[in-house]
Amino acid sequence: MKARSHAADYYRRILSAQSHGLKRLDPVAAIMHYHRGQEIPNSSGPAGHWYCVIVGAVRRCTIRSDGRRQILDLMLPQDFFFVSDSKRDGTIEAVVEETVLASYPGARIEQLAERDPLFARELREVALQSLARSQGQLQILGGITAFEKVGSFLLSLDGRGSEKRGEVELPVSRYDIADYLAVSVETVCRAITDLQHRGVIALAGKRTVKIVNRGALEDRFGERAMVA
């Protein structure tokens, strides 16, 4: 949150270059910087707040009654998300250092939508994108084995983000993946190393995954019917 307007301009240009539809929203954006683990406050009045990730990653978490953390949503660059002051949505945190968000006060958004029907439609689109993200995660969590979950997760990451297809940059720790997939950290590790040994994926560094055999990930991979 330092005073560096030149940096703000830089991120503003990134925001404008992104492919989402809300171009007319850009001038309203407030560029916000967050540290790793820092909470994005939801004290934003009754109309809530819209955000768009420019750089970094953001997670939406709840704490279960048994103390476990669950990650309900994972937002990457170009993703929009809405925060209301209702407690049930859980806490929102920056995942990585130097996470940059565009922030739009809900009241301002409502004003714009009221005047501009086309913008209102785009705003609906964005809401439906959040829904699609959530249902995508449902499909991932619906897998039986941990291999399925991890595999689906990698595929979904490959679909998002701007990296070239087949090369996934994991934006989060193994612990985050575990809480996102509702499995233990150890299981995530084992699944990754096993997929690696089977030649389905290859690791370039701990946080970079190359997808070698995409078909094996898309089909059920509990089978060993894919060893070359």
Partner DNA sequence: CGGCTTGTTGATTTCGCTCAATGGTGGTGG
Partner DNA sequence: CCACCACCATTGAGCGAAATCAACAAGCCG
* CB of 207 vs DNA, minimal distance in Å: 6
What minimum distance in Å lies between the beta carbon of 89 and a second copy? 8
Smallest distance from a second copy to CB 165, Å: 18
Decide if 193 contacts 200 (C-beta within 8 A): no
User: Is residue 188 within 8 Å of residue 146, measured between CB atoms?
Assistant: yes
**Residue 115, token pair as written in the block:** 């005047």
Pair 169, 197: CB distance under 8 Å: no
> For a second copy, which is the closer residue by CB, 8 or 72?
72
Mask of contacts with a second copy, 51-90, x by CB under 8 A?
A: -----------x-xxx-x-x-xx--------x------x-
Residue 158-197 contact track with DNA, rule CB under 7 A, x = bound: ---------------xxx------xxxxxx-xx-xx----
Identify which range of 9-17, 124-132, 165-173, 201-209 contacts a second copy by CB under 8 A: 124-132
Of 107, 203, 212, 226, the one binding DNA (CB under 7 A) is 203
Q: Which residues are 107's β-sheet partners?
A: none
Answer yes or no whether residue 4 interacts with DNA by CB under 7 A. Answer: no
Residue 224 binds a second copy, judged by CB under 8 A = no
Q: State which of positions 109-148 bind DNA (CB under 7 A).
A: 144-147
DSSP code string of the chain: --S-HHHHHHHHHHHHHS--S-GGGGGGPEEEEE-TTPBPP----TT-EEEEEEES-EEEEEE-TTS-EEEEEEE-TT-EEEE-S-GGG-EEEE-SSSEEEEEEEHHHHHHHHHH-HHHHHHHHHHHHHHHHHHHHHHHHHT-SSHHHHHHHHHHHHHHSSSSPTTEEE--S-HHHHHHHHTS-HHHHHHHHHHHHHTTSEEESSTTEEEES-HHHHHS--SS-TT--
Does residue number 24 form part of the binding site for a second copy (CB under 8 A)?
no
* Least distance from a second copy to the Cβ atom of residue 22, Å: 14
* Interacting residues toward DNA by CB under 7 A: 144-147, 173-175, 182-187, 189-190, 192-193, 203, 206-207, 222
* Interacting residues toward a second copy by CB under 8 A: 62, 64-66, 68, 70, 72-73, 82, 89, 110, 113-115, 117, 120-121, 123-124, 127-128, 130-131, 134-135, 137-139, 141-144, 182, 218-220, 222
